[in-house]
Amino acid sequence: MKKFGYIIILALVMTSGVSCKKFLTVNPKTEMPQDVLFSTESGFKDALTGVYIQLKGSSVYGRALSYSTIEYLVSSWDTDAGSWQKKIGEFDYNDETVQNNLSSIFGAEYKVIASLNAILDKIDQQKSVFTTPGMYEMIKSECLALRAYCHLDLIRLFGPIPTDPSNGNELAYVKQLSNQPNDHISYEAYKAALMQDLKDAAALSENVDPILTYSLSELRNLGVGKAFNPTDDYVGYRYLRMNYYAIKALEARANLWYGDKDQAYGAAKEVIDATNEDGTPKFRLGQSSDFADKDYSLIPEQIFGLYDFDMFDTYTNNFASGSFKKSTSATVINTQLYGNTGTDIRETSLWNVITLSNQAKCYVIRKYEVVESPTSLNADFKQIPMLRISEMYLIAAETAPVGAAQQYWDSFRLSRNLDQTALPDDQTLKTQAILKEYRKEFYAEGQAFFAYKRVNAPKSDVIFAPTTVQEMNYLIPMPKNESVN
């Protein structure tokens, strides 16, 4: 792609009745030359807002990398014979439609990265246009961390299995706009670039991010007379965006992927241990009362999420309609997935039985079920989860010293209303236990495939693995029309 001479500016347009989300309510307006867009602080804000809109696109986290393509890779949904959804679950990567779906993810991720690089290309030389304290640091920090987020998912999807890095694709870690193609680099060089982005992002935000000072509730309920009353609303809503703790959570995820368990534990622990001024946890594990309040995506757990105004329609058109369903038998969900505990809050509250037009009954997940027009901010749950505290507990349970690991495991299981069980001493059995929780916990969030791939899980460890394949195939080929500039 050519170096941008123009960039799409996303003009802020208020949505009726939802002024608190104004930085997220944007519609494409016009093209603007870079030198004009990046001549003001507001131009940088508009450009970054545009990136968040891109992230919600159907080829990335608004569909493909949350509940669709990535979940079909682990057979999370019922499929029709001969469909591309069936074929991708059987790892038929030669099928043209399968290739097209994977290629669209590849291209969309690198387009997001290009937009981030357009901002980063100008932000230092235009630092003088920033007048709001901390704004320069936060915007640059977000861009670096979001660039790392997208690159991590690219290497997790298209790259090698971490335990065998020499057997798989090399990718380009794109850090600048250029007219020339970007070279693919080694697995270790890619890792180094990604971790450097996260290090730089954390250093920029660690002294200016409001999430370090205010609770999630205070950040959600900002304004005159409130605990948090910023001079610029754009500084607000840090509970949603790529904030300091989201950077540390991403650092934990990345280090776990690369097998650096001590670093993964250190980063996860920092997020788990984060507290508010009154000593309460910054992020708490979800519980049955959250589901009772119809918060099925567990907002208190989300360290980073994407606000999605269209989530009601997403649920209605894709889940309530039965398009994304799993089985007509309670045995599949209650027993195969949850072990028929009868107490697990995910088992008892997170799935609905619906009746299809042919009168058949089937199970659909409620994770994206929301009220179309919530009556208050505290009842507004339209967030796509990108990083959750439950993942930090599972990372800590896997990577912490034995005693601490057991405590994290106990806390996680207690929050899901499960009996306490000892983490196995045997590493294989421990991995199997934690993988089962990843499968249950992140259903329709796009994390199960990555969890299985990270440890090269055999078919016997993969819940809902297709009977038609002999073994799992985690090595996804590069798109045939791959081009990254």
Q: Please, are residues 241 and 233 in contact by the beta-carbon 8 Å criterion?
A: no
Query: Is residue 323 over pLDDT 80?
Result: yes
Query: Is residue 451 over pLDDT 80?
Result: yes
Q: Which two tokens stand for residue 273?
A: 């241990």
How far apart are the C-alpha atoms of 160 and 158, rounded to whole Å?
7
- For residue 313, what pLDDT is reported? 98
Find tokens 């090595």 and name the residue.
Answer: 475
Query: Is residue 26 over pLDDT 50?
Result: no
Query: Is residue 359 over pLDDT 70?
Result: yes
Query: Is residue 429 over pLDDT 80?
Result: yes
Q: Which one is predicted more confidently, 235 or 273?
A: 273
The arithmetic mean of pLDDT across residues 48-75, rounded, is 98
Q: How confident is the model at residue 483 (pLDDT cuts 50, 70, 90)?
A: low
The arithmetic mean of pLDDT across residues 319-341, rounded, is 95
Query: Is residue 219 over pLDDT 50?
Result: yes
- For residue 33, what pLDDT is reported? 80
Find tokens 């079920």 and name the residue.
Answer: 369
- For residue 178, what pLDDT is reported? 82
Query: Is residue 59 over pLDDT 70?
Result: yes
Q: Which one is predicted more confidently, 233 or 156?
A: 156
- For residue 237, what pLDDT is reported? 83
Distances (CA, A) of 429 to 9, 265, 344, 435: 51, 20, 21, 10
Domain residue limits, the chain: 1-208+453-485
The arithmetic mean of pLDDT across residues 44-48, rounded, is 97
The arithmetic mean of pLDDT across residues 72-78, rounded, is 98
How far apart are the C-alpha atoms of 354 and 350, rounded to whole Å?
13
Each residue of 279-296: pLDDT tens digit? 999 999 999 999 999 999
Helices 187-205, 135-158: axis angle to 10 degrees equals 160
Residue 177: other Cβ atoms inside 10 A = 17
Q: How confident is the model at residue 484 (pLDDT cuts 50, 70, 90)?
A: low
How far apart are the C-alpha atoms of 242 and 9, rounded to whole Å?
20
- For residue 37, what pLDDT is reported? 94
Q: How confident is the model at residue 30 (pLDDT cuts 50, 70, 90)?
A: very low
Query: Which CATH number does 1-208+453-485 carry?
Result: 1.25.40.390
Q: Which helix (H) or strand (E) holds 42?
A: helix 41-55
Least confident piece of the model among 66-80, 119-133, 228-242 = 228-242
- For residue 7, what pLDDT is reported? 42
Q: How confident is the model at residue 12 (pLDDT cuts 50, 70, 90)?
A: very low
Each residue of 256-267: pLDDT tens digit? 999 999 999 999
Q: Which one is predicted more confidently, 11 or 347?
A: 347
Contacts of 302 (CB under 8 A, 6+ apart): 239, 283, 383, 385, 386, 387, 388, 389
pTM of the predicted model, to two decimals?
0.94
Q: How confident is the model at residue 31 (pLDDT cuts 50, 70, 90)?
A: low
- For residue 34, what pLDDT is reported? 85
According to DSSP, the residues that pair with 7 across neighbouring strands are 32
Query: Is residue 430 over pLDDT 90?
Result: yes
Q: Which one is predicted more confidently, 21 or 374?
A: 374
How far apart are the C-alpha atoms of 286 and 290, rounded to whole Å?
6
According to DSSP, the residues that pair with 10 across neighbouring strands are 28
Q: Which one is predicted more confidently, 483 or 278?
A: 278
- For residue 181, what pLDDT is reported? 86
Cα 456 versus chain centre, distance: 21
Q: Which residues of 457-482 are buried (b: 16+ CB within 10 A; e: fewer)?
A: beeebbbbbeeeeeebebbbebbeeb
Q: Which of 146, 278, 136, 149 is nearest to 207 (CA)?
A: 136
3-class DSSP state for residue 343? Answer: coil
Query: Is residue 392 over pLDDT 90?
Result: yes
Q: How confident is the model at residue 233 (pLDDT cuts 50, 70, 90)?
A: confident
According to DSSP, the residues that pair with 11 across neighbouring strands are 27
Contacts of 55 (CB under 8 A, 6+ apart): 61, 62, 112, 146, 306
Query: Is residue 218 over pLDDT 60?
Result: yes
